[in-house]
Chains A and B, each alone.
Chain A
Amino acid sequence: MVQDRRDDLPQEKDETFFKRRRSRSIAIALVLAGLVVLFYVVTLVKMGAGIFNRAL
């Protein structure tokens, strides 16, 4: 379970803790989104131009 507050930290340290955790979460989200885009683009590249050449 995610801890909502760090009891062992004074107030200002608490704020720093949450700020840093938020920036780490954003960084992880960006990396995961980047991985999705990377796998998508590489799949297109590997399939080649033929991907557009199909019956509709």
Chain B
Amino acid sequence: MSDRTLEMNADTAARAAGGEASVRDFLALLKPRVMSLVIFTALVGMVAAPGGLHPVLAATALLCIAVGAGASAALNMWYDADIDAVMGRTRLRPVPRGAITRGEALAFGLILSAFSVLTLGLLVSWAASALLAFTIFFYAVIYTIWLKRSTPQNIVIGGAAGAFPPMIGWAAVTGGISVESIVLFLLIFFWTPPHFWALALYKSDDYARAGVPMMPVVAGDRATRGQIWLYSLILAPLGLLPAAVGLGGPLYLAVSTILGVLFLALAWQVRSGEGAVAAKRLFAFSILYLFLLFALLLAEPMMGIAPFASLLGGVS
């Protein structure tokens, strides 16, 4: 046996035993990019909520929500290590790369989950803490372990996990759930299918190789394009709803109308079968769409633009 082979065997043995990972590997386990989106939407939920929260408590809530999101990402990478290893997009994640063992990822995810949920409950709000716990459970167990490998509707139902952060932010301030926070939830919930299916349209080979029953793999491109169009038809008017429930003002209404029309136009191009280019364009635009809508809800109060009176009257 050559020296190189011996070295590789020793390396593999060490990795199997664990303890080789750097701090950076553990940080990668938290999916920092997804985490930043979670922080952003949770912040919007907090700012949009009536009432106020001390800045220290608000920062604490955001930290807990971010760590909770990171914990669920670590649990996702623990369970999905086998399919991550065969997909081009995910094969360099810490577990398939061999930098972190599955056991380490599981322990890391569980410890962070417990810390984030308990800290949020003890320091800020038990209602927000319960929602965070449910979000982690939903993402790790309902989506990752159950739905992802069993149904092409995986990201439709699983999308709820990504839609909870603004509700958690809202609950951290108000101590509960209301129609307005449910509207923010629905916005992300109905945005998720066209967003992920647009990606899946041009990454379907990857999903097929991993055996993940994404819509294009199971039902084909044509059916997926039709579904994207249907969900976009629901999403575009939903984008206006924050203005109707007293979260957004005139600027929000104007921009969300334009963005909704653009979203529909791009979704129509995808439906018409204009290939991977149209799907890539919709995928990229969908990120901008959600970012701009939430950024406007954040910016309007700072610009001194008052929201419309809620059509719901005093109901909340």
Q: Do A and B bind each other?
A: yes
Cβ 8 A contact of A45, one of B19, B20, B22, B57 = B57
* Chain A residues closer than 8 Å to B54, beta-carbon distance: 45
- Looking across the interface, which residue of chain B has its beta carbon closest to that of A24? B23
CB of B90 within 8 Å of the partner chain: no
How far is it, in angstroms, between the C-alpha of A10 and the C-alpha of B14 when the chains are bound? Answer: 10
- A24 in contact with B21 (CB, 8 Å): yes
B56-A21 in contact (CB<8A): no
Q: What per-residue 1/0 map shows which CB atoms of B41-80 lie under 8 Å from chain A?
A: 0000000000000101100100100000000000000000
Any chain B CB within 8 A of the CB of A6? yes
**Contact mask for chain B residues 1-37; partner A; CB cutoff 8 A; 1 contact, 0 none:** 0000001001101100101111100100000000000
* Interchain CB contact (< 8 A) of B22 among A20, A35, A41: A20
Within 8 Å of chain A (Cβ to Cβ): is B254? Answer: no
Contacting residues, chain A, for B14 (C-beta < 8 A): 6, 8-9, 13, 17
Q: Number of B interface residues, CB 8 Å? A: 20
Cα–Cα, bound, A9→B26 (Å): 22
User: Is A27's CB under 8 angstroms from B23's CB?
Assistant: yes
Residues of chain B with a CB closer than 8 A to A9's CB: 10, 14
Given A8-B10, A10-B10, A13-B10, CB of A42 within 8 Å of CB of B57: yes
Q: In the complex, which residues of chain A have a beta carbon less than 8 angstroms from the beta carbon of B19? A: 6, 17, 20-21
B277 within 8 A of A: no
| Cα(A9)–Cα(B11), bound, Å | 7
Chain A nearest CB from B18 CB (Å) reads 11
A41 to chain B, nearest CB (A): 6
The answer to whether the Cβ of B288 comes within 8 Å of any Cβ in the partner chain is no
Please report B residues at the A interface, Cβ cutoff 8 Å.
Answer: 7, 10-11, 13-14, 17, 19-23, 26, 54, 56-57, 60, 63, 115, 119, 123
Chain A residues engaging chain B, CB cutoff 8 angstroms: 6, 8-10, 13, 16-17, 20-21, 23-24, 27, 35, 38-39, 41-42, 45
Cβ-closest 4 pairs across A and B: A27-B23, A45-B56, A42-B123, A20-B22
Task: List 11 additional A-B contacts (Cβ < 8 Å) besides A20-B21, A23-B22.
Answer: A10-B7, A13-B10, A13-B11, A17-B19, A20-B19, A20-B23, A27-B26, A38-B60, A38-B63, A45-B54, A45-B57
Give me 23 A-to-B residue pairs in the complex whose CB atoms sit less than 8 angstroms apart, sorted by A's number: A6-B14, A6-B19, A8-B10, A8-B13, A8-B17, A10-B7, A10-B10, A13-B7, A13-B10, A13-B11, A17-B20, A20-B20, A20-B22, A23-B22, A24-B21, A24-B23, A24-B26, A38-B60, A38-B123, A41-B56, A42-B56, A42-B123, A45-B56
